[in-house]
A and B are shown apart, each in its own frame.
Chain A
Amino acid sequence: MPAITFTFGGKTVSCELARKVTKDDLYGTLKKLTIKGTEVLSRGYLTADGRCVPASAISNSRLDPEGSPVDKEEILYDGTSREPLPSSFEEAAPLETAPLKALASFCVTDVYPLEGATLKKGLYLTWFSYRKSPERKEAFVLAKDGGTFLLVGYAKNSPFVGKIVPYELFDAESATGGDEEDEEMNFAMM
């Protein structure tokens, strides 16, 4: 397990980042299969000229405007080039205490247990970056009975609304934009 360090109140908090916990680890996996009799069929594509090719015959690639595969590219963030920042394993991220209600506006994408963390029970705001990157992800460390967890994701700005609803504060797209997963879970947990 990789060692990860945080700073809190001028002190260093060292621990180990355990493997990501997914719902599949807790409840199992749902596989969708297409079968005929007992044989599991594989997905393929029919091309315009009637050929049948396997799905593995198509790859994603990046091409420049001349149609050549891209070897070296420059990435611009809001129109400017940025240097990658050290990852969470190379730089200690600061921890700041946060109210528990901050979790009510936070969408979690990844959950990592932190082993050996010596923190008082509570919620701490921090950042996380698994690799060197110009962008760091928002994160919380939650210390509770049953372990300490690093919750990585993004916060939403949910406003208080009065008699007039400030619609400009909401996404214009579908309210269900985050529902991209197409998996199922075992609800026995509830």
Chain B
Amino acid sequence: MTTTIHLEYEGKAARLPLQSPKRNKVAPAIQRRTTAGAVNNVRIFNAARRVDPKSLSPEDVASGDPELDLSMAGTLADSDLLSTAFVDKAGTVVRDFEEIEVVLKPDGTEKERRPRTDRCANVNDVRPIKVGKFMPVEEALTSFVFRGVYQVVHEDGLGHEFLRGLAEKLEKEKSVAVLGAGQKGNQPLVLVDGGSPYRAFLYGESAKEGTYRLLILLSNQELKLPA
């Protein structure tokens, strides 16, 4: 499966394939085994019971195991037979609940509380991703932590011309371009529904034989020390 990016630069827009380059070093295939054979990862019930520690007296703990429920201990927990539920302190399943997000500052204090929003992918939206301001490549590469690298490629001759021209310009100006989504082109990029938002930078290089390399660098962190 290939993701498509809708990209706009200098009034021209195109839908182009977004590829994930392979890793330089292929990760080894890891197998775990014992003398009996291959090891399987499974989920099992571990006998933990929901209890409020404050409700237990020292006598309760000394005389029994109120924190344990041994009836299912050691049995396999088949994900297909389990349904997620939300429960209150009394252990009752709650059906009408609210999902929220709490934003905490770096010092742990609460900054904001808001309803939870589901983000939608925006790289192949009606509104194209805009190629915005240029920034010196050295500054970008040393100021941000890049978490992901994707490559924009062409599908036809026009796409090749468009992308190679852009890559050449970025290389000539020793710059990366800031990419943005939304009407104003200032929103972060979300590659998949429910995915994380990233600030994105377009990095380009070209070679003599008509080849080019146009990368989208995704960042969610500046490269600096905490205050």
A residues whose Cβ falls under 8 Å from a Cβ of B: 21-36, 39, 41-48, 51-54, 56-66, 68, 70, 72-79, 100-101, 103-109, 111, 113, 135, 138, 142, 144, 146-147, 149, 151, 154-163, 165, 167, 169-171, 173-179, 181-187, 189-190
Contacts and interface: CB of A to CB of B under 8 A. Distances in A.
B87 A101 contact: no
A76 to B, nearest CB: 4
Contacts of B141: 100-101, 103-104
A27 B203 contact: no
Interface size range on B against A: 35 or more
Contacts of B220: 23, 181, 185
A61 B43 contact: yes
B98 interface: yes
Contact of A163 (B44, B149, B157): B157
B72 interface: yes
Nearest to A65: B37
Max chain B CB contacts within 10 Å: which of A57, A79, A138, A149?
A57
B120 interface: no
Q: Enumerate the 8 nearest inter-chain pairs by beta-carbon distance, A residue then B residue, closest first.
A: A160-B211, A65-B37, A170-B19, A41-B86, A176-B191, A158-B21, A155-B24, A77-B28
B215 to A, nearest CB: 6
B20 interface: yes
Contacts of A57: 45-50, 69, 72
Contact of A157 (B21, B31, B199, B209): B21
5 contacts: A41-B87, A58-B46, A62-B40, A66-B37, A100-B141
A158 B215 contact: yes
Contact of A156 (B3, B24, B43): B24
Nearest to A135: B28
A25 B195 CA distance: 21
Nearest to A122: B142
Contacts of A31: 101-102, 104
Contacts, number: 331
B99 A32 contact: yes
B1 A174 contact: yes
Nearest to B141: A103
B62 interface: no
A144 B144 CA distance: 12
A146 B224 contact: yes
A39 B89 contact: yes
Given A31-B102, A156-B24, A59 B149 contact: no
Given A56-B48, A60-B41, A47 B82 contact: yes
Interface string B135-176: 001100110011111110111010010000000000000000
Contacts of B3: 174-176
Interface string B207-227: 101111101010011111111
Given A30-B103, A59-B44, A156-B21, A176 B145 contact: no
B224 A26 contact: yes
A74 to B, nearest CB: 6
Contacts of A36: 88, 94, 96-98
B155 to A, nearest CB: 8
A161 B211 CA distance: 5
A105 to B, nearest CB: 6
Given A25-B106, A34-B98, A58-B43, 18 more contacts: A26-B106, A35-B98, A42-B50, A52-B91, A53-B72, A60-B43, A62-B39, A63-B40, A75-B32, A103-B141, A106-B149, A146-B224, A155-B23, A157-B22, A161-B213, A171-B19, A175-B18, A179-B148
